[in-house]
Structure 1
Amino acid sequence: MLSLKIKKTLKAYTLNAVLNVSEEIIVLTGPSGAGKTTTLNCISGLIHPDSGEIVLNDRILFQKKEKPIPVQKRNIGYVFQNYALFPHMTIRGNINYKMKDIKLVNTLVNVVGIEHILESYPAEISGGEKQRAALVRALATKPEALLLDEPFSSLDDETKEECQNELLRLHAMWKIPIIMVTHDLKEAERLGDRILRIEQGKIIDN
């Protein structure tokens, strides 16, 4: 279970996010700049709310006036819009960073079709290949929760469908909270147990 009740003042508005995610896939939609990525960043620990609380499986990740749990100890997988691969590591090195199960990694690598780029560096591969590598890296840690910021947007239709199928398969096995941001309504309807909209920093149940 992942729960958050947070506030953070931004330039255009105040993010006021209240959300409880059980063993389900939540899809966040809404216009650019509405607070979707900021919400994910608060959960991951990359930024901290001004007030409130974030709890994952009875562990308090953030609480006002308490020292927040650092990013690397939250055990949350995160696929960023800009991929955030380590430029000095090969794709194999990126994927194996904090990897917990080599058999799982090999399965994921085969599913997304990146065997041929494992010895390449991020600067040497395409945006779609970076996106696939970032997805594998996030899943390879066997996280307690997974955050996905438009994870399939650069993929061709066939690869996108394969990655979506693998995400659903892993979610059925792991039963962890997943929050995904997407502008693709078809994708949202296929993957989301619930589809929520963010407008001006507030989460609205569709």
Structure 2
Amino acid sequence: MARQLDYRTIHEIFARLHALEAEPRGELEHVNAYTLLVAVALSAQATDAGVNKATRALFAQVTTPAQMLELGEEGLTEHIRTIGLYRNKARNVIALSRLLVDQYDGEVPSSRAALQSLPGVGRKTANVVLNMWFHQPAMAVDTHIFRVANRTGIAPGRDVEAVERALEDHVPAPFALHAHHWLILHGRYICVARKPRCGICPIRDLCPYEEKTA
């Protein structure tokens, strides 16, 4: 775990990431808040590419909680059986769809507490939806962000909650909205787990990681 970087260095890191891609986008395909919520819930322990492959036909047919309930658990299972833990995920999606219909008039709520009250929706899933759909500067810490935050010293922490708090405390306000996507994409394509691609890293000179690759 690297030491916490100073504000000026963190600001420069995000300024460079912003210069490379001013409006980073998440890679999960969706058409509205509900399909985004479902896609994120399905993405646990699965790749975005794998989820997208499974949900394209699903979201062509289903875009609301009511339509999901009409499809039913078995119908949903047929669409998502290529995704890990698909049976449990199907049960959760049907249950959260029922709750959205019964308690929220079929609309996805915009508060973290309400989102986390839904079956199968944890803090990370809630934060992704808050960030991507409701444009809140929420920090959804996955394995990529946890790795990058600790390697670079942007937001070191021993667990996900600590990294999330450090990101909220140390990411400069002008970059807070898109910080989640910049970090996850950086971790997915450059600062990878086994052999980071330091040779093409835009923040190599600012990063204190000692085991840099050529």
What is the TM-score of this pair, normalised by structure 1?
Answer: 0.30
Between structure 1 and structure 2, the one with the greater Rg is: 2
The structure richer in strand per residue is: 1
What is the TM-score of this pair, normalised by structure 2?
Answer: 0.29
The structure richer in helix per residue is: 2
- The higher relative CO (CA closer than 8 Å, separation ≥ 6) is in 1
